[in-house]
A and B are shown apart, each in its own frame.
Chain A
Amino acid sequence: MTALLEIEDLRVTFNTRYGEVTALDSVSMHVNEGETLGVVGESGCGKSITALSTMGLIPMPPGRIAGGAIRLNGEDLTKVSDSRMRSLRGGDIAMIFQEPMTSLNPVFTVGDQIAEAIMLHQKVSRDQALKDAIALLDRVGIPSPDKRALDYPHQLSGGMRQRVMIAMAVSCRPKVLIADEPTTALDVTVQAQIFDLLNEIQRDYGSAIILITHDMGAISEMADRVAVMYAGRVIEDATADQVLDSPQHPYARGLISCIPALGKGAQQDRLAEIPGVVPPLHMLGAGCSFKERCSLTNARCGSEKPQLINHGAHPVACHAAEEGRA
């Protein structure tokens, strides 16, 4: 079976003042119909660039897709024309952004904005589009949608705005829904509601969801499979349970141990952390990009880049895991 969306060996580079910097280095991942793929990693490790590449929204220049393919139903999105990409965007693939505060146009009512999104992809009259918009607002759980449709974004709360964004994104029943940290800007109770909503949408529309997050809690709640990213590479690719229960890569393990344990039996130790920060992409040397922060390094880690290979349980890019030192 071929996957609905398949990213294969994707390489994205940016021209910066440090020269050409590789933001994504042979990134591969895939997501099937009705499935949720979690993409996790620290800030700056390439999660959002992966999402933007898939949407064809990488600013070019300075960005450039230097290699690889992004296939939606077998159609390579890195090669399609601009107009085809535009009709796919918002039609077959849609995206929800991190900041619901700033991702709505402040000068139009939310009803107008959803109607615009509908009219971009469907040949319907303005009245019909507005009716559909109100139905969508109702669908995403906004009370008295006919009144809220006349509101401007600044009159709605963060959670409401994110619901509006979701309504806009699902207005054309996308096959793939990319959610780029959809709940980071929201408080915890609203986060849970948004995740519930995304799950419902997925059940109703059968969309595949790519959930980009750094919140392992969100992963455990939402994701079927997980791709862990570090410094522009996928370093571990497994089911959510595998990653949460038995992470192979030291970095994935670090991420898991950063989840605070709550409850009665929880020890009140100092919360684990991963020492150091993600190295700047223009300063990546040879070998594993995690070597400076890893406790399991040996000479090979400094010289040879680990590949994403299945050493047992699931694919992982780590020499230590391969050699059984982990």
Chain B
Amino acid sequence: MTDLSNSEGQTMADEPQQDYQAESPLLEAWRMYRRNIPALFGTVMLTVIIAATFYGMFFYTGDAYDIVWAPHEPPGVTPEFPLGTDYLGRDLIAGLLTGGGPTLAVGAAAAALTMVIGISLGALAGFYGGWVDNLLMRITEFFQVLPALLFAMVLVTLFSPSLTTIAVAIGVVSWPQTARLTRAEFLRIKQLEYVTAARAIGAKNKRIIWKVILPNALPPLIVSATLTVGVAILFEAGLSFLGLGDPNVMSWGLMIGANREYILDAWWPVTFPGLAIFFTVFSVSLIGDGLNDAFNPKLRER
């Protein structure tokens, strides 16, 4: 018996020599992520886009709202305005750099709101089950069957179309998916043994929800949050395109919406903001995919 316990002690005592470091699941996911080239490409692309929208105007002089030249100047003709001008003669580059900020901000805020509503309701439904679950899921289904864009349009029309209203409207229409995902994760995790074990040491429900189950449910939720950012940006663009954006704030969607009538005469004022949206959402999707691969142990090869 004594030599048996020694043998286990031996192996454990030997381990520190390998100089291995305790690695949290998050660190491990990061290690996986670093090896994912498309995901890294997406990260770099999004960083560049964010940097450009935040700092671009420090380097590029010009005002997005000023009429500076003749309207519909094609790109590459006048050196001062490489991407040309829009239907009022405003500089497109200044528009892109200024309009990115609000677009990204609305996207991020809407995604954050989506996650907050979705995770709270999904967690309560999944954890408590019974009538709480029934009630919350019926509410979720109610929101799910409403046509999202139409509902958002109604909300924006009812209240003044400011950036905040738009973010809230997008958040309010897109949380059901997150709620269902959270609920599913909670239903799965709440019957695992470490939840019972946490109860057995006397943990309260609140602690079990937030400190035991939620951290374990996070990986798919992080992925979904990333993808939600992309969807929210598209949503904002869609609303602006339909003329429901904040008319006083330059955004990519607004640029497309304002110039769409002249698309047959001038393709560039619509195309460039469109490309900006495309690349942003594309990079966000690449990141989301990368996170999915990094967190999903089934896809992880060692």
User: Which chain A residues border B145 with CB–CB below 8 Å?
Assistant: none
Which of A38-46, A64-72, A139-147, A303-311 lines the interface with chain B? A139-147
**With A95-B200, A143-B13, A189-B4 as contacts: A109 and B216 at CB distance below 8 Å:** no
CA of A120 to CA of B207 in the docked complex: distance in angstroms?
10
What does the 1/0 interface line of B205-246 toward A look like (CB < 8 Å)? 000000110011000000000000000000000000000000
Residues of B within 8 A of A109 (CB): 22, 24
A88 to B202, CA, bound (A): 7
- Number of A-B residue pairs, CB cutoff 8 Å, is 103
Binding site for B on A (CB under 8 A): 55, 57, 61, 86-91, 94-95, 97-99, 102-109, 116-117, 120-121, 141-144, 147-148, 150-152, 155, 157, 159-160, 165, 168-169, 171, 189-190, 192-193, 196
Residues A102 and B192 in contact, CB atoms below 8 Å apart: yes
CB of B196 within 8 A of CB of A97, answer yes
Determine if B67 is an interface residue (Cβ-Cβ < 8 Å): no
Number of B residues near A (Cβ < 8 Å) is: 30
CA distance A110 to B136 in the complex (A): 35
- Give 5 A-B contacts (CB < 8 Å), ordered by A residue: A87-B202, A104-B197, A106-B216, A117-B201, A148-B12
Given contacts A97-B200, A102-B194, 20 further A-B contacts (CB under 8 A): A57-B199, A57-B200, A89-B201, A90-B203, A99-B193, A103-B197, A105-B212, A105-B215, A106-B25, A106-B194, A106-B216, A107-B24, A107-B216, A109-B24, A117-B202, A120-B203, A143-B9, A144-B16, A155-B23, A159-B8
B interface residues (Cβ-Cβ under 8 A, vs A): 1, 4-5, 7-9, 12-13, 16, 22-25, 130, 192-194, 196-204, 211-212, 215-216
Please give, as numbers and ranges, the residues of chain A lying within 8 Å of B16 by CB-CB distance: 144, 147
CA distance A185 to B1 in the complex (A): 19
| Known contacts A107-B215, A143-B9; A152 and B201 CB within 8 A of each other | no
A90 to B203, alpha carbons, bound, how many Å?
9
Chain A min CB distance to B145 (Å): 30
Contact at A86–B212, with CB atoms within 8 Å?
A: no
Q: Are B13 and A144 in contact (CB under 8 A)?
A: yes
Give the complex CA separation of A22 and B99 in angstroms. 67
* Known contacts A144-B12, A150-B22, A152-B23; A90/B202 CB under 8 A: yes
CB distance from B23 to the nearest CB of A (A): 7
Distance, CA A55 to CA B196, complexed state (A): 10
Q: Are B193 and A97 in contact (CB under 8 A)?
A: yes
Shortest Cβ gap from A28 to chain B (Å): 23
The docked-state distance in angstroms from the alpha carbon of A190 to that of B9 is 12
| Distance in Å: Cβ of B87 to nearest Cβ of chain A | 54
Tell me the smallest distance from the CB of A104 to a CB of chain B, in Å: 6
Q: Check if A57 sits within 8 Å of B196, measured CB to CB.
A: yes
Specify which chain B residues have a CB less than 8 angstroms from the CB of A108 in the assembled complex: 215
**CB atoms of B1 and A192 under 8 A apart:** yes
Of B4, B5, B8, B200, chain A has the most CB atoms within 10 Å of the CB of B200
- Which of B23, B196, B201 is close to A120, meaning CB atoms less than 8 Å apart? B201
Docked complex Cα distance between A269 and B198 (Å) = 46
Q: Which chain B positions have C-beta within 8 A of A99?
A: 193
What separation, in Å, do the CA atoms of A160 and B13 have in the docked complex?
A: 13
Give the shortest distance, in Å, between A187 (CB) and chain B (any CB).
11
